[in-house]
Amino acid sequence: MATHDDDQTINGAHLALSVHFLSVEPQAAARQLELLSAHQASIVLQNSPSTVVAQVLRNMLPNSAAKIVIAQPNDKIDTWLEKLNAADLAAILRCLAPKDQDSMHNRMPRNKQTLCKMLLSYPEYAVGSLVDTDVLVIEHSMLVENALQRLKKKQHGYLQVLFVVDQSRQLIGQLNISQLFIVPPSTQISVLLGQLKPSIIATLDIASAAQLTHWQEHDSIAVVNRKHEFIGVLHHHSIRHFSNRQDQQNHSADTNALDMVETYADTIVSVLGLIGSAASKK
C-alpha cells in the first residue's frame, strides 16, 4: 500500500520532471501550457525558478501569458517582472485590460516602466515594438577605461556590440567589445570608430524589416526613432519569434472557426432530422 511519504516522493518527482521540461524545452512547454487554464498553468509555473518561468512566458502567446501573470499573487508578479525584458513585458501589457495594464505597469522597476511606455507607443506591427533595449550605450567622448568600468558594473542582455552615441543620443558608431581590450585604457572611444553601420527606423513595419538583405550577414541591427536617436536593437530571432507567434494565432483562429462550423453543421443536421421526423409523422 502506498504511504503518504510515497505520494510526496512521487509528486516531488513529477514536479522535478516538469521543471526540467520547462527549462530544456521552453517553447514546447509554452505550447502545452497554452492548452491549460490560467489556474492550471500557474500551478506548474509557481513551483519553477523565476528564470525558467521567464523563458517559458517569453515563448508563449502574449494573451496566454498575460492571463497567467495577472492571476498571480503580487509577490510572484514582482519576481517574474524582474526577469522579463521590456519587449516581453510590453507584449504582455498589450493583452491586458486598461486597469490591469496600469496596475502591472506600476509594479515594474522604474527603468522598465519608461522602456515599456516607449515600446507601447509603437503599433504591434512596427519594429519599435520588438526592440531590445537591454544594450550597452556609451558616449563617443568617453575613454576606454570608463567604458570597461561600465561594462563590469552592469549586466546587459546583449553584449556583443557597444553602441556609441553623441550628446544628443544620435548613433554615430558601433564597437565590438574585443576592441576595448587591445588599445590603451586612455584611448578615447571616438578614435576607434569606423564607418557607421546601417540602422532602421522604429516605425518600419516588421514585414518589411524581415525582407532586408542585412540579415544575410548580420543577426541584429540598430534602431532609431524619428529624431534619429538610438533606442535599441532589433534581433533577427525576434522577427522569427513574432512571425511564429502570428502563425500560431492564425492557426488558433482557424481551428476555432472550424470547430464552430462543425458545431453549427451538427446542429443543422439535428434540426433537419427533427423536421424530417415531424414531416413523416404527418
Q: How far apart are CA 20 and CA 37, in angstroms?
A: 21
Average pLDDT, the chain: 83
Strand pairing class (171-176; 158-165): antiparallel
Question: Is there a contact between 52 and 19 (Cβ–Cβ < 8 Å)?
Answer: yes
Cell of 166: 553623441
pLDDT at 17 over 90: no
Question: Is there a contact between 174 and 150 (Cβ–Cβ < 8 Å)?
Answer: no
Question: Is there a contact between 59 and 26 (Cβ–Cβ < 8 Å)?
Answer: yes
pLDDT at 8 over 50: no
**CB atoms closer than 10 angstroms to residue 60:** 26
The mean per-residue pLDDT over the stretch 62-79 comes to 92
pLDDT at 3 over 80: no
pLDDT of res. 134: 85
Query: Per residue in 35-63, pLDDT tens?
Result: 888 888 888 898 889 999 999 999 898 99
What domains are defined for the chain?
9-120 (1.25.60.10), 135-239 (3.10.580.10)
Q: What is the pTM of this model?
A: 0.72
- Indicate the SS3 state at residue 231: strand
Query: Per residue in 220-255, pLDDT tens?
Result: 999 999 999 999 999 999 998 888 877 776 665 455
Q: How far apart are CA 92 and CA 94, in angstroms?
A: 5
pLDDT at 116 over 70: yes
Q: CA-based Rg of the chain, rounded to a whole angstrom? A: 25
